[in-house]
């Protein structure tokens, strides 16, 4: 499972100080997804990615996933609801890949199973406005379990999002 794919925030938006001339940043010829993420996966001898997880729609999380979806066989994509319309990940996966198990959005309460691995979506709640502007607190929060090991993926969720996931949710997630 590849969680997020990196990218660059728009750093050209800085404001020049009085009298300074703003210098535009020149991007590398290759994108982060091509020049970093895909290059690393190739160096590990990989030609496929079983699952892509796009935690939320900010460029520094999803820009690289489109290249990965084009460069590798991807079995499935798990996409935060607010990221679905803002990234090309769903479209690329649906258009380019064969034998997809599932490509779609996931909401709080969904439990996904991948062989011996289980993942419980703790956030965002179902019914959240998927057309609202994306914010850090719209990140998908997912608890991934493999045997007695657990990994909590939170995207860029902030204090308010953490508080919305109750202690009861954490406890029930820990024992499922």
Domain boundary assignment for the chain: 2-6+30-175
In this structure, what DSSP letter does residue 88 have? S
Q: Which of 160, 123, 164 is nearest to 143 (CA)?
A: 123
Is CATH 3.60.15.10 the right assignment for the domain spanning 2-6+30-175?
yes
**Predicted local distance difference test score (pLDDT) of residue 166:** 66
Q: Please provide residue 55's backbone torsions phi and psi, each rounded to the nearest 5 degrees.
A: -70, -35
Q: Please provide residue 137's backbone torsions phi and psi, each rounded to the nearest 5 degrees.
A: -75, 0
Alpha-carbon distance 133 to 74, whole Å?
28
**Predicted local distance difference test score (pLDDT) of residue 146:** 92
Residue 76: partners with Cβ closer than 8 Å, 6 or more residues away: 50, 51, 52, 93, 100, 101, 102, 103
By the 10 Å C-beta count (0-12 exposed, 13-18 middle, 19+ buried), 163 is classed as exposed
Q: Is the pTM of this model over 0.85?
A: no
**Predicted local distance difference test score (pLDDT) of residue 21:** 59
Alpha-carbon distance 82 to 9, whole Å?
17
**Predicted local distance difference test score (pLDDT) of residue 38:** 95
Dig out the tokens for 165 from the structure.
Answer: 């996931």
Please answer whether residues 173 and 125 qualify as being in contact, where contact means their C-beta atoms are separated by less than 8 angstroms: no
pLDDT in tens, the chain (176 residues): 899 988 875 555 444 455 565 555 555 567 888 999 999 999 999 999 988 888 887 888 888 888 898 899 888 888 777 666 555 665 555 554 444 444 566 778 888 888 899 988 888 887 766 666 667 888 888 889 999 898 888 888 888 778 877 655 655 655 55
Q: Which of 151, 2, 120 is nearest to 65 (CA)?
A: 2
**Predicted local distance difference test score (pLDDT) of residue 98:** 45
């Amino acid at each position: 499972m590849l969680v997020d794919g990196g990218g660059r925030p728009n750093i050209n938006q800085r404001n020049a100080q009085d009298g300074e001339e703003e210098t535009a940043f020149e991007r590398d010829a290759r994108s982060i997804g091509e020049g970093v993420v895909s290059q690393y996966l190739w160096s590990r001898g990989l030609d496929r990615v079983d699952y892509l997880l796009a935690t939320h729609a900010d460029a520094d999380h999803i820009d690289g996933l489109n290249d990965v979806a084009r460069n590798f066989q991807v079995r499935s994509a798990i996409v935060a609801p607010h990221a679905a319309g803002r990234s090309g990940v769903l479209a690329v996966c649906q258009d380019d890949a064969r034998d997809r198990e599932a490509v779609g959005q996931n909401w709080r309460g969904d439990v996904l199973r991948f062989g011996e691995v289980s993942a419980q979506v703790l956030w965002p709640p179902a019914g959240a406005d998927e057309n609202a502007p994306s914010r850090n607190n719209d990140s998908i929060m997912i608890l991934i379990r493999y045997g007695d090991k657990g990994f909590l993926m939170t995207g860029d969720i902030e204090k308010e999002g953490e508080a919305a996931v109750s202690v009861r949710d954490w406890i029930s997630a820990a024992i499922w």
